[in-house]
């Protein structure tokens, strides 16, 4: 895949953000650097970057797709109330991977662990409503 200047800026901005933005959120950031870029161009390039393995596309529970510029092995925790996604550094997913391969015989192409919970912001909001 050829890295165009638009693709490079989209990738740079996604890697800079740690919030796992939606395409629309990333578009708002990218258009500050590329005022003439269209939302369709951002969507198309995110799909291509994802297909090339340069970014991760996160699809959780029917919510809007989010994107992660960090392709190092890590897991995510997702807030079931607001949809916020945070990175989780896990020790060793390889143990789980070995169990799956050894017991089921699959050739594993991708592995990830997803945790679900309620983020600190939503917890605080719940406490405030009770007071």
Report the CATH number that the domain containing residue 118 is assigned in CATH. Answer: 3.30.1490.190
CA gap 99, 111 in Å, rounded: 12
The answer to whether residues 97 and 131 belong to one domain is yes
The answer to whether residues 43 and 76 belong to one domain is no
pLDDT tens series, the chain, 131 aa: 788 999 999 999 999 999 999 999 999 999 999 999 999 999 999 999 999 999 999 987 778 899 999 998 788 899 999 989 999 877 666 667 777 777 777 777 777 778 899 999 999 998 888 76
Strand 75-79 relative to strand 56-58, pairing? unpaired
pTM to 2 decimals?
Answer: 0.81
What dihedral angle (degrees, nearest 10) is formed by the CA atoms of 20, 11, 91, 119?
-10
């Amino acid at each position: 895949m050829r890295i165009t200047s638009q693709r490079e800026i989209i990738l740079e901005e996604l890697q800079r953000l740690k919030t796992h933005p939606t395409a629309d959120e990333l578009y708002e950031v990218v258009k500050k650097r590329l005022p003439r870029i269209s939302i369709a161009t951002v969507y198309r390039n995110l799909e291509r970057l994802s297909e090339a393995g340069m970014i991760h596309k996160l699809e959780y529970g029917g919510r809007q797709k989010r994107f992660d510029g960090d392709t190092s092995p890590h897991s995510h925790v997702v807030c079931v109330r607001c949809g916020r996604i945070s990175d989780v550094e896990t020790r060793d997913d390889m143990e789980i991977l070995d169990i799956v391969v050894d017991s089921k015989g699959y050739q594993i192409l991708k592995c990830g662990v997803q945790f679900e919970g309620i983020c600190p912001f939503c917890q605080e909001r719940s406490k405030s409503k009770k007071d």
